[in-house]
Amino acid sequence: MRKIAALYAGVSYQYRSWNEPKYKQYLSDILYVPELTETSFDEFDAIIVPSRLHAGLMERITPWIQRFADNGGTVVLFWPQSADCVPLQNWENRPTNFWWWLDKDAKSGLELQQPEHNLFKYLTLEDATWHYHGVFWPPAGAEVLITTEDNGAILYIDKVSSAGTWVVTTLDPEFHFGSYFMPATERFLDGFFPWLAEGEIA
């Protein structure tokens, strides 16, 4: 099983998500972001960077995250509001439709691009469907797994930008689970954690 650390900035939704027993079993440590140093990630195989991380903290640790990936580590980024930390991509901000599911003939607009990918042995498109915050246009060679109808990336795996692996999504499951709403996010995390810990990330 991979040795995984989750970053924690002192906010309630992160605390609840990372300390939920069924998810904490997959974590080797929870790292308090203000106390991080440039070597804090060295002992881990993967790190999870939560959504809505304070911009100043994110700016401070971005070089260390990139160094970790350059040394072969796996970086998971849940909706990085500062896309500067994501290598070789073009972020496109889009209005978030929180209420699409109330529309007549409601359709999320999300699609699977590689349904055969082993991530989808652990979760379904429905488990990754609530709303999204913009799209990425990732580098050539990245594995794009979930997109909008016009092919903007919602979730992709990048093994071409560094010696490591970037798992990048515009979704924010730990925010909603930790805030006690949006049932799909719990199903997403129920599948995502065992995949990250034990699955083939390729």
Pairing of strands 4-8, 135-137: unpaired
Q: Which residues contact 98 (CB under 8 A, 6 or more apart)?
A: 131
pLDDT score of 195 = 98
The two tokens of residue 40 are 């804090």
Mean confidence (pLDDT) of the chain: 91
**pLDDT of res. 9:** 96
d(CA 21, CA 189): 12
CA 112 to chain centre: 16
CA atoms of 24 and 48, how far apart (whole Å): 12
> Where do the domains of the chain lie?
4-198
Classify residue 33 by its DSSP letter. G
Cβ-count burial 159-180 (b if 16+ within 10 Å, e if not): bebbebbbbbbbbbbbbbbbee
The per-residue pLDDT for range 59-82, each reduced to its tens digit, is 999 999 999 999 999 999 998 766
Provide the pLDDT for residue 114.
95
Instruction: Tell me what pLDDT residue 51 has.
Output: 93
pLDDT along the chain (202 residues), means of 10: 97 98 98 97 97 92 96 94 76 73 68 96 94 90 95 96 95 94 94 96 70
Superfamily (CATH) of domain 4-198: Class I glutamine amidotransferase (GATase) domain (3.40.50.880)
Q: What are the Cα distances from residue 89, in Å, to 29, 166, 167?
A: 29, 11, 13
Q: Cα torsion at 46, 52, 57, 60 (round to 10°)?
A: 60
Q: Which amino acid would we find at residue 76?
A: V
CA pair distance 118, 138, nearest whole angstrom? 20
